[in-house]
Amino acid sequence: MGTIKNVLREELNNSLQMEKDYLRELAKLPKGSLIKKKVKGHEYFYVISRENGKVKFRYKGKLSPVEIKRYKDVKFYRTKYRGYLSKLRKQIKFLRSSLRGKQSV
Amino acid sequence: MENSQYDLCIEVLSRLDKVGALKNLVLVGSWCIPFYKEYFSGSKYVTSITTRDVDLLVPLPLGIKAKVDLEDLLKDLGFILGFKGPQGYIKLEHPDLVLEFLVSEKGAGLDQPFKLPELGVNAQRLRYLNLLTSKLINVKIGSLRINLPHPAVFALHKLIVSKERKKERAKISVLRIKMLQSEF
C-alpha cells in the first residue's frame, strides 16, 4: 500500500477510536438541561430531560451559583462533544471513501 | 493544512507556555515542518502534509517543577483523554489534533508507558529520540518560543525510523501470510 494510503488508514483508525472516546465522554455527562422558572417573584430551577420519548421535569428548587455553573458547563461540553462527533463522522466517511480507490498512492 | 488546525496547535502551545511547560518540551514529528518555515524564512519553503498527531518529546530529567494537569488545561478547547494500545499510552484527543508524549528509550527497553505525574499523563518510550535532542533550535512564532530538532537531525531521524518501519511492516506481512496459511 502507498505512503498516502497508510497515512489515511492511520487517520481513519484515529477517527474511529476518537468517535468511541467522545461517545464515552458524552455518556459521562449527566442528562438534561437546567431551566429557570419564576413563580411569584422567586426563581426555581428544573432539570428538563427526555426519558423514553417523554419530556420530564425534575424539580431542583433554588440552586447555588456553583451548581448553576456546573449545569452550564455540562451543556457547554455536551454541545461541543456532539459537534465533534458530527465532525468525526464526516471525517470517517471521507477517509473510508478515499481508501476505497485502488490506486497505490 | 487548515488554518483552524494550525490556530488550535498555536493555542495549545500558548497554554503550555503559560504554565511553564513548553520550554521543557521539544516538538517533534510532522508538526515541526510548518514551524521550520520560520527557520527557513530566507528561502522558498513549502510545508508538506501534517497528520493530526502533535508529538511532544519530553527530555529527561524533566525540568517542570510545578504540577500541571494537562487534561484540565485543554478541556475547554474540547480535548479529551484517550488511550492508545494495550499499554495504555495517554493521548489528548481533539478531532483536529492529537497530543502525544514521547520519551527516549534507553537500554533493553520496557514495554510500558513512562509515567509523567508532573503533567498528569504518561509517555511512550521510543528509540532514537535522543538523536532529535542532540541539536535543538528555538523558533519564535509570535510571542512563543518553540524547541524543535535541527532540520538536519530531523531528516536523519526520519531516514533511520523509516528503515525501521519498513522492517516492522515486512515482519507484519510475514505474520499475516503465516496466519492466512494456518487458516487454510
- pLDDT by residue (tens digit) across A7-33? 888 889 989 999 999 999 999 998 888
Q: How many domains does the structure of chain B reveal?
A: 1
Segments in chain B below pLDDT 50: 184
pTM across the whole model: 0.81
* pLDDT tens digit sequence for A69-87: 999 999 999 999 999 999 9
B30 → chain A, closest CA residue? A7
| Per-residue pLDDT, B184 | 47
| Of residues A7, A77, A87, nearest to B95 (C-beta) | A87
- Asked if B52's CB is within 8 angstroms of A14's CB, the reply is yes
| Per-residue pLDDT, B174 | 60
A25 → chain B, closest CA residue? B80
Q: How far apart are CA B83 and CA B92, in angstroms?
A: 9
> Taking CB atoms and an 8 Å cutoff, what residues of chain A touch B53?
14
- B164 is a domain residue: no
- B52 is a domain residue: yes
- The residue among B146, B116, B118, B147 whose CA lies nearest residue B133 is B147
> Taking CB atoms and an 8 Å cutoff, what residues of chain A touch B80?
21-22, 25, 81
> Taking CB atoms and an 8 Å cutoff, what residues of chain B touch A80?
78
- Asked if B98's CB is within 8 angstroms of A21's CB, the reply is no
- B182 is a domain residue: no
User: What three-state secondary structure class fits A25?
Assistant: helix
Q: From the CA of B123, how many Å to the nearest CA of chain A?
A: 18
| Per-residue pLDDT, A83 | 96
CATH number at residue B102: 3.30.460
Q: Which domain holds residue B98?
A: 3-151
Residue B41 CB-density burial (10 A; 0-12 exposed, 13-18 middle, 19+ buried): exposed
Note whether B132 and B28 are within 8 A (CB).
yes
- B166 is a domain residue: no
- B159 is a domain residue: no
